[in-house]
């Protein structure tokens, strides 16, 4: 393990972000990378705790003490190899994962866990500095596998299967590979050249990418199943939760992902037509939803120079510290403030976070065409139900409303309907432990079967289902072997 007394000698220190006044002027990543010595010092805090609970918190089962030890010893390239043995894309998780591993770290008992996420993100730089070359298969099985969707689950499944010798084709409906990594996560959290570099590595390993192809429209069910020996659906949970209240149809009320995708396309150099453009400049923006997507909308509105940003959350304000009914090593249900939520006040603009408040409707401007105000009321949770508090009705200025209330499963129709896949009560694709669906030779991974979740869970699912697909094609492997 790392320095046995490191956690006593070195204080926890997260990486530093660029100042809010600077970073709201661009869409580059906000984090300042640590020096090699700072990284070694933080890795040295990984204690010889006997039972590393960080493994429990990580869906991928990353061997965290081992790579911390290697970083402390200055063997970052070896640490990258250890990390890559369990995690296909540490450059993704090191940026956008909420780090459940840190919540499970034994040092979380002292509220000072090892900065595992920072170490992981910095290690991943070695991958693109030549520490890990493409890993093409030693032999080809002759079996063809279609991956539908190129988000983290699809990319993980594709890489695992290609390295097993299968011929893998990844279909992506959008014009570029990456799914929500590409168009759902802002560049200030993850610049997109990171995806491009990983795709180049996977192409060198034999994966073929076909962006701009909507499989549900481009080929029939019979054509798909006759062309491939196995199909893995990694189509995500892209059906957004709507808000059926008066005024929902007004101009200026949009789903969060529509807003984020447009800005990501602008950053990529694409032209977004003025007609239909969603922009926050000079507007009073209300973001409905307190999760990561809502926070991403806040950060984007900050950079578009919104007049004000208000974020509404239906649930009560979380506590500042763990409550007795939420003990370690469970995920701490506490108040968190994202970098985006810190920015407006630091940059001299207004930002409010409101908890336990419900949107009742949208009020039109004098033209009757666009939203001008949002009607809301305070609520409380009583017996598991939401109860409105009389006399707390209010109206908020609102020129742009962004609905960031999560997703309700895969989009209806299309390939899911054409294949006749069994769905659960929440509309997710039903699978067994190997990822097999109700249709032979069709598998599903990631949010499509799990429901909306984290990038780290999507990668873990992609790896798990790839193992299931590989096992299903095992007779061919035995014949070749």
Give residue-wise pLDDT tens across range 423-476.
999 999 999 999 999 999 999 999 999 999 999 999 999 999 999 999 999 854
Element housing 169 (H / E) = strand 167-172
Q: Read off the pLDDT of each residue in 244-250 and give the average, rounded to a whole number.
A: 98
Does residue 139 form part of some domain? no
Q: Check whether residue 474 and residue 424 sit in a common domain.
A: yes
Element housing 263 (H / E) = helix 256-267
Q: Check whether residue 77 and residue 95 sit in a common domain.
A: yes
Q: What is the residue whose two structure tokens read 């926050």?
A: 280
Query: Are 90 and 124 within 8 A, CB to CB?
Result: yes
Tell me the pairing of strands 442-444 and 230-233.
parallel
Q: Check whether residue 266 and residue 333 sit in a common domain.
A: yes
Select from 381, 403, 425 the last residue of a domain: 403
Tell me the pairing of strands 371-382 and 394-397.
antiparallel
pLDDT above 60 (res 477): no
pLDDT above 90 (res 2): no
Q: Check whether residue 260 and residue 397 sit in a common domain.
A: yes
Q: Read off the pLDDT of each residue in 359-364 and give the average, rounded to a whole number.
A: 98
Tell me the pairing of strands 230-233 and 144-148.
parallel
Does residue 220 form part of some domain? yes
pLDDT above 80 (res 311): yes
Domain that holds residue 163: 144-238+408-480
1 — pLDDT class (breaks 50, 70, 90): low
Count of residues in the chain? 481
Does residue 437 form part of some domain? yes
Q: Check whether residue 108 and residue 149 sit in a common domain.
A: no
Single out the residue of 376, 379, 419, 406 nearest to residue 148, CA to CA.
419
Cα separation, 382 vs 19, whole angstroms = 41
Which of 72-81, 249-258, 373-382 is predicted least confidently?
72-81
Does residue 245 form part of some domain? no
How large is the greatest C-alpha to C-alpha distance in the chain, in angstroms?
A: 75
Select from 86, 104, 131 the last residue of a domain: 131
Q: What is the count of structural domains for the chain?
A: 3
Q: In the prediction, which pLDDT does 128 show?
A: 65
Query: Are 267 and 436 within 8 A, CB to CB?
Result: no
Q: Check whether residue 326 and residue 367 sit in a common domain.
A: yes
Does residue 305 form part of some domain? yes
347 — pLDDT class (breaks 50, 70, 90): low
**Nearby residues of 63 by Cβ (< 8 Å), 6 or more positions away:** 55, 82, 85, 86
Tokens of 453: 């979740």
Q: In the prediction, which pLDDT does 346 show?
A: 62
- Which CATH number is 219's domain given? 3.50.50.60
Cα separation, 374 vs 388, whole angstroms = 16
Single out the residue of 305, 313, 296 nearest to residue 96, CA to CA.
296
Q: In the prediction, which pLDDT does 119 show?
A: 95
Does residue 137 form part of some domain? no
Q: Read off the pLDDT of each residue in 151-155 and give the average, rounded to a whole number.
A: 98
415: exposed, middle or buried (C-beta count within 10 Å: 0-12, 13-18, 19+)?
Answer: buried
Q: Check whether residue 211 and residue 258 sit in a common domain.
A: no
Q: Check whether residue 27 and residue 161 sit in a common domain.
A: no
Single out the residue of 259, 249, 241, 253 nearest to residue 298, CA to CA.
259
3-state secondary structure of 267: helix
Q: Check whether residue 41 and residue 126 sit in a common domain.
A: yes
Q: Check whether residue 36 and residue 116 sit in a common domain.
A: yes
Sequential DSSP letters for 77-124: HHHHHHHHTT-S-HHHHHHH---HHHHHSGGGGGT----HHHHHHHHH
Give residue-wise pLDDT tens across range 87-144.
999 999 999 999 999 999 999 999 999 999 999 999 988 776 665 688 999 999 999 9
Element housing 265 (H / E) = helix 256-267
Q: Check whether residue 153 and residue 87 sit in a common domain.
A: no
Mean pLDDT for the chain overall: 93
Query: Are 121 and 97 within 8 A, CB to CB?
Result: no
Tokens of 213: 């192809």
Where does 127-189 have alpha helices with state H? 152-163, 180-183
Q: Check whether residue 399 and residue 412 sit in a common domain.
A: no
């Amino acid at each position: 393990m790392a320095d046995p007394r490191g956690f006593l000698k070195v204080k926890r220190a997260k990486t530093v972000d660029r100042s809010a006044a600077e970073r709201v002027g661009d869409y580059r990543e906000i984090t300042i990378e640590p020096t090699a010595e700072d990284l070694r010092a933080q890795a040295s805090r990984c204690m010889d705790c006997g039972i590393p609970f960080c493994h429990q918190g990580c869906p991928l089962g990353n061997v965290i003490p081992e790579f911390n030890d290697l970083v402390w010893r200055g063997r970052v390239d070896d640490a990258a190899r250890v990390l890559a043995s369990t995690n296909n894309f540490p450059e993704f998780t090191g940026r956008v994962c909420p780090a459940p591993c840190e919540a499970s770290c034994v040092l979380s008992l002292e509220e000072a866990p090892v900065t595992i996420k920072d170490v992981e993100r910095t290690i991943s730089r070695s991958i693109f500095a030549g520490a890990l070359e493409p890993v093409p298969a030693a032999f080809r099985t002759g079996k063809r596998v279609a991956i539908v969707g190129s988000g983290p689950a699809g990319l993980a499944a594709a890489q695992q299967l290609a390295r097993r010798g299968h011929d893998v084709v990844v279909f992506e409906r959008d014009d570029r590979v990456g799914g929500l990594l590409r168009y759902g996560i802002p560049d200030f959290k993850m610049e997109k050249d990171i995806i491009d570099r990983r795709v180049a590595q996977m192409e060198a390993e034999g994966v073929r990418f076909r962006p701009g192809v909507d499989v549900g429209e481009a080929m029939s069910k019979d054509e798909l199943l006759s062309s491939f020996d196995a199909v893995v659906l990694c189509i995500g949970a892209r059906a957004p939760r709507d808000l059926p209240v008066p005024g929902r149809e007004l101009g200026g009320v949009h789903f969060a992902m529509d807003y984020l995708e447009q800005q990501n396309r602008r950053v990529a150099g694409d032209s977004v037509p003025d007609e239909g453009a969603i922009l926050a400049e000079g507007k009073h923006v209300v973001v409905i939803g307190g999760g990561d997507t809502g926070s991403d909308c806040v950060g984007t509105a900050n950079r578009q120079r919104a007049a004000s940003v208000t974020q509404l959350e239906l649930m009560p304000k979380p506590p500042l510290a763990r409550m007795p009914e939420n003990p370690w090593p469970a995920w701490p249900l506490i108040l968190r403030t994202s970098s985006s939520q810190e920015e407006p006040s630091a940059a001299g603009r207004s930002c409010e976070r409101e908890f336990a408040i419900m949107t009742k409707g949208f009020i039109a401007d004098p033209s009757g065409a666009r939203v001008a105000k949002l009607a809301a009321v305070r609520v409380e949770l009583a017996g598991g139900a939401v109860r409105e508090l009389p006399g707390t009705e209010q109206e908020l200025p609102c020129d742009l409303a962004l609905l960031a209330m999560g997703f309700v499963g895969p989009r209806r129709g299309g390939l899911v309907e054409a294949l006749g896949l069994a769905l659960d009560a929440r509309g997710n694709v039903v699978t067994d432990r190997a990822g097999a669906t109700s249709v032979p030779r069709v598998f599903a991974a990631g949010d499509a079967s799990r429901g909306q979740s984290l990038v780290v869970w999507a990668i873990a699912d992609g790896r798990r289902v790839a193992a299931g697909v590989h096992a299903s094609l095992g007779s061919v492997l035995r014949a070749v072997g």
